Amino acid sequence: MEKEMVNVVEKTEEKEEGASMVEYVLMAALVSVVAITAITFLGQQTSKTFSRIGSDVEAANNT
């Protein structure tokens, strides 16, 4: 009886280790998506800002 309980506890621990791995993978995926979204957004904003500055400099040179 005691041996059976030990086996049940060991199997539960193995399942928890597997669940932990899945949780880490999901967290890594979420962090990746957030990072890619932030980089894309900031890249677009930076590009717009430099384009505006370039246009302003060009307009100032033409006057």
Distance CA 39, CA 46 (A): 10
pLDDT of residue 13: 61
pLDDT of residue 52: 94
Mean pLDDT for each consecutive 10-residue tract of the chain (63 residues)?
65 65 90 94 91 92 82
